[in-house]
Amino acid sequence: MTVLFDRIAFIGIGHIGSSLARVIKRDGLARRVVASARNQATLDKAMALGFVDAVTLDPIAAVKDADHVVLCTPVGAYAEVSRRIGPHLKPGAIVSDVGSVKLAVVEAIAPNLPPGVHFVPTHPVAGTEHSGPESGFDTLFEGRWVILTPPAGTDEAAIARVEALWRATGCMIERMDPAHHDKVLAITSHVPHLIAYTIVGTASDLEEHTKAEVIKFSASGFRDFTRIAASDPIMWRDIFLNNREAVLEMVGRLWEDLALLQRAIRMGDGPALERHFARGREIRRSVVVARQHIPPAPATSSGSANAKKTTTTTTKKNKKKS
Amino acid sequence: MTVLFDRIAFIGIGHIGSSLARVIKRDGLARRVVASARNQATLDKAMALGFVDAVTLDPIAAVKDADHVVLCTPVGAYAEVSRRIGPHLKPGAIVSDVGSVKLAVVEAIAPNLPPGVHFVPTHPVAGTEHSGPESGFDTLFEGRWVILTPPAGTDEAAIARVEALWRATGCMIERMDPAHHDKVLAITSHVPHLIAYTIVGTASDLEEHTKAEVIKFSASGFRDFTRIAASDPIMWRDIFLNNREAVLEMVGRLWEDLALLQRAIRMGDGPALERHFARGREIRRSVVVARQHIPPAPATSSGSANAKKTTTTTTKKNKKKS
């Protein structure tokens, strides 16, 4: 493997950051990996797990001499973090992030970066419901999409270096306009999470059924929603606060469509229900054809089958990985 | 294994019916297993797969001399099927079903059964998004709940025989009032499916994003909804038409809760969002503790880990299975 960076600094080292750090360490993509977090316990875990060379509570110390800084905190912390580290970034350094919203992220970070520092906003469309450095794994991004939303005029060499880093994870790469990104993710990710959080709350609120009963019979569909609703609360709070417009627009569309189905049920309109439901199967088929249906799992356990399968979907440029 | 029934007849032999038939054949629980379906291709598949001894397009021929008849069609067909087979049932025979709603099922079937025939309504709370006799597997019910809703006064010996049959699948058994069943399942199963169908439709309707883009980035949450929305359209049409009142009540509660979260997003109320989202993790934890979080999979593939895990949760009476 080629060394792509001399020193990479992670600000935040949770599920996503630690998964990327594991790939970097595994493939020797950086000479030195440094992590900063607000919590010493998180840093101790990261050190013990062996995918970082040094840790510090001070983000300024972490970014010193780093040629690549990856922001992996909840997106709500990006403005403050970038304000603090901005003046201490090495000239020519690349700053990227892994946030699930992009328009607000660009607005929060870009003004705090000095001239000569390259900003390459990044969103790996992958993850599980778990969080913390112990939950990451080096196959998390295999066969998944990573979206880059670099502002017009961003240095192409800097973009290419970020792409090379991500390619090592086995992912596929797409470039997108940040506003378009936020709309696509609002419907594919943010609204599904909002709905999962809603329904899980509604179910546990039901007074006439004990909570235990809802959980007991959760294998009938509810289970899948609880998995999604187990995602990190702070991370998701920040996503909704930072993608408000697109999320509210998509929720509005959802209300209208739900009202139609609700009415079909009330009126006993079987053909309308059947027509709508039949579309679900077709769409699922497309997801399976696109090989995005296999849930992520560490390669060490039952996920090995998964890793094997997804590897076959990676493009030529990733073949070295299999 | 003990032979529990001399002749069992399945009316409908899809995902659930064929899974039960596989257990019966595997453990020798009946001397003869007969299946009826509306479609010869389905029957041919069932015969080829080897878990039935005979097949027929004629439900009346199927139930002749059967001491247990299991209705496994979509619930919308129960009234007609029971009307047809009713006069031909053997005195003392037991009729059960596997429908996901119970109040409407009791109303549809009970009046068509002659005196001396025992009716034990049953709902195995298990399944995948797949359908057809080829999609079943003999570990589908392991560690899952099977709910019985026998009307007051039902012969206890008949209930005990149905329970013994289901216990062989490795499931856990619960008795419930049919109206209560329908409320619990409305929130744990029916509304989650309705929402999944809605959101999958909304996403694919979006004109400004191509369908491919929604599918491409489906690993971000949408994927899980497409799996649920891939369930059998006819089966689900019938569930909604037959559990209308409970479903509409639960959808109403969901609207109210979604409106609160929507307002919190609009007003930028971070603490409210965080509070709500934090509950999701707790509830997921309860689902995991109840061991209902492991998705079903045939024991022959990656599901072996699953089967092993769920077996440890079965109660003493099922220990013979491990």
Give the closest of B192, B217, B234 to A221, CB-based. B192
pLDDT value at position A293?
Answer: 77
**Alpha carbon of A54 to those of A5, A50, A84: distances in Å?**
16, 10, 20
Torsion over CA: B72, B73, B78, B81 (sign): negative
Taking the CA of residue B283 and the nearest CA in chain A, the distance in Å comes to 7
Residue A7 has a CB neighbour count (10 Å cut-off) of 21
Backbone angles phi, psi at B242, to 5 degrees: -105, 0
Q: Which residues on chain B are in Cβ contact (under 8 Å) with A145? A: 216-217, 219
Here the tokens at position A204 are: 């546990």
Which of A154 and B298 is assigned the larger pLDDT? A154
The residue extents of the domains of chain B are 5-176, 180-289
> Which residues of chain A lie closer than 8 angstroms to B213, CB-CB?
184
Cβ-contact A187, B256 below 8 angstroms: no
What residues in A contact B233, CB-CB < 8 Å?
273-274, 277-278, 280-281
Token output for B232: 């059998």
Q: Six-digit token pair at B28?
A: 């020798």
Pairwise CB contact (< 8 Å): A244 & B224: no
* B204 or A265: which leads in pLDDT: A265
Residue type, position A66, single letter: A
pLDDT tens per residue across all 322 residues of chain B: 689 999 999 999 999 999 999 999 999 999 999 999 999 999 999 999 999 999 999 999 999 999 999 999 999 999 999 999 999 999 999 999 999 999 999 999 999 999 999 999 999 999 998 999 999 999 999 999 999 999 999 999 999 999 999 999 999 999 999 999 999 999 999 999 999 999 998 888 875 566 558 888 887 788 888 888 999 999 999 999 999 999 999 999 999 999 999 999 999 999 999 999 998 888 888 888 887 777 766 654 333 333 333 333 333 333 333 3
Residue A266: both structure tokens together: 């009330």
According to CATH, the topology of domain A180-289 is 6-phosphogluconate dehydrogenase C-terminal fold (1.10.3660)
* Cβ <8 Å between B280 and A126: no
Cβ–Cβ below 8 Å for B305 and A301: yes
* Average pLDDT estimate for A192-210: 82
Q: Is B221 close to A194, i.e. CB distance below 8 A?
A: no
One fold for A5-176 and A180-289: no
Q: Find the residue in B nearest to A258 (Cα).
A: B198
What residues of chain A lie within 8 A of the CB of B123, using their CB? none
B149 inside 8 A of chain A by CB: no
Q: What is the ipTM of this complex?
A: 0.85
pLDDT of residue A301: 39
How many cross-chain Cβ pairs, A to B, lie less than 8 Å apart? Answer: 326
pLDDT of residue A306: 37
B141 at A interface, C-beta within 8 A: no
3-state secondary structure A186-255: HHHHHHHHHHHHHHHHHHHHCCCCCHHHHHHCHHHCHHHHHHHCCCCHHHHHHHHHHCHHHHHHHHHHHH
Residues of B in contact with A262 (CB under 8 A): 248, 251
Can you name the CATH fold of A5-176?
Rossmann fold (3.40.50)
Per the prediction, chain A carries an average pLDDT of 89
| Closest in A194, A241, A278 to B270, CB measured | A241
pLDDT at A289: 81
Main-chain dihedrals φ then ψ at residue A120, nearest 5 degrees: -125, 90
Q: Do B220 and A305 touch (CB under 8 A)?
A: no
Beta-carbon separation of B293 and A126 below 8 A: no
CB of A234 within 8 Å of a chain B CB? The answer is: yes
Q: What is the pTM of this model?
A: 0.85
Residue B210, pLDDT score: 60
A129 and B CB contact within 8 Å: yes
* Interchain CB contact of A186 with B (< 8 Å): no
Q: How far is A110 from chain B (nearest CA, A)?
A: 22
Residue B145: φ, ψ to 5°: -95, 140
Q: Give the CB-side neighbour count of residue B306, counting CA atoms within 13 A.
A: 20
B130: nearest CA in chain A?
Answer: A281
Q: Do B200 and A280 touch (CB under 8 A)?
A: yes
